[in-house]
Amino acid sequence: MRSKQKVLILTAKYGNGHVQVANTLVNHCRNLGIEDVIVCDLYNESHPVFSEITQYLYLKSFSIGKQFYRLFYYGVDKMYNKRMMNLYYKMGHKRLHEIILKEDPDIIINTFPMIVVPEYRRRTGTVIPTFNVITDFCLHKIWVHENIDKYYVANHHVKEKIVRLGIQPSAVKVTGIPIRSQFEEELNHDQLIAKYGLDPNKKTLLIMAGAHGVLKNVRELCQSFLQHDQLQTIVVCGKNQVLKDSLTPLANAYPNQIKALGYVERVDELFRISSCMITKPGGITLSEAAAIGLPVILYKPVPGQEKENSIFFENSGAAVVVNKYEEIQDSVDYLMNNEHLLSSMRRNMKKLHIASSADTILHDIMEEAVVITKENEKKMKGSVNY
């Protein structure tokens, strides 16, 4: 093995979470002195047109295609078999083979379920230490394969599910989900309140409204909150300029109660100064909220991993799940008027956070890779001698 290891991270742009985890791992690799890191969107590079179409359908599942996604997510889980493995293998094996020949990676890390990678080992005999970093608080069978060397998961609930599928407990490590380092920094709360022009004596509701247009009628919702003198609302519109433009007149008319923001680089700052957040239940967003200890209202989870994530956080006493638009205001009213419940949810959120996840994962991967490579070299040497 080279003294300086080369890492290949495979991901996919179905939502922002898988790519964000990949980028977080890249940054932490470099902090650890591992400079030779390649990130590859394997399916997009293999079949760009197919990838673009399926990504479009994935985004549409948040609004008009929920039943389609439900069928896909749970249907694939039930039908997962050798035929499914063949399909996933064919989708990326040619491009994967090209990358392996060209880059000769020492380690492969998947932040998206890449069946092609362990199948490539099974069919070719090429052993490259391979690791799955699971990016949700639930498990889909497509992540699990006999030729994955180790799994890094959000909690013991996911570990137990993997073990039930026949994987050795020692091959599953509970590390939490890697998040951006800014969410684990110590910042001055009062300075952040002043930076965003907020009233320190009011509660703050944060609405993450930009992602995929998940939350409809945001303007009407903000108007309904104006009746609460002790509540100030921040809406993050992201790259949704139409939404921001629609909110700007309202924000200008009520500058002490409504703030409409576009894309926010340091969104962790808003997490820190908020009393509660309305958001979609993506694994990364929930991990970031847990790091801060921010209670969440999860609106209309999409069937699949979002639904499973929301169930886990609700059962953990860290979230309120709302399935009807009409119930949002009542949920906000109830939480904002119940400080005891908010405090309990903050504590429960913090309990779900595991600090320094990315560093823990990478240190473990480096150690495991050395062992796996040495064992494989012994096997190869033994077979040659034989």
CA-CA-CA-CA torsion for 245, 197, 286, 236, nearest 10 degrees? 0
DSSP state of 183: G
DSSP state of 205: E
C-alpha pair distances (Å), 308 with each of 157, 206, 271, 314: 12, 23, 23, 10
E strands, 296-373, are: 296-299, 319-322
The CATH number of 7-176+355-385 is 3.40.50
For residue 1, what pLDDT is reported? 47
DSSP state of 264: -
E strands, the chain, are: 7-11, 37-41, 107-110, 130-133, 150-153, 172-174, 203-208, 231-236, 258-261, 276-279, 296-299, 319-322
For residue 83, what pLDDT is reported? 60
Fold agreement (7-176+355-385, 184-351): yes
For residue 92, what pLDDT is reported? 76
pTM listed for this prediction? 0.90
For residue 70, what pLDDT is reported? 53
Other Cβ atoms within 10 Å of 84 Cβ, number? 15
For residue 4, what pLDDT is reported? 74
Q: What whole-number distance in Å separates Cα of residue 342 and Cα of residue 318? A: 9
Decide: 320 and 314 in contact? Cβ < 8 Å.
Answer: yes
For residue 90, what pLDDT is reported? 66
Measure CA of the first residue to CA of the last residue in the chain; give whole Å.
23
For residue 350, what pLDDT is reported? 97
Which residue in the block uniquely carries the two structure tokens 């040659």?
384
For residue 66, what pLDDT is reported? 53
What ranges do the domains of the chain cover?
A: 7-176+355-385, 184-351
Please say whether the structural domain 184-351 has been given the CATH code 3.40.605.10.
no
CA-CA-CA-CA torsion for 131, 135, 136, 142, nearest 10 degrees? -50
384 phi-psi bin (left φ>0, alpha ψ -120 to 50, beta other)? alpha
pLDDT along the chain (386 residues), means of 10: 80 84 96 94 69 54 51 54 59 88 96 91 94 96 94 98 97 98 95 97 92 74 92 94 94 96 95 96 96 96 90 98 92 95 98 97 97 88 60
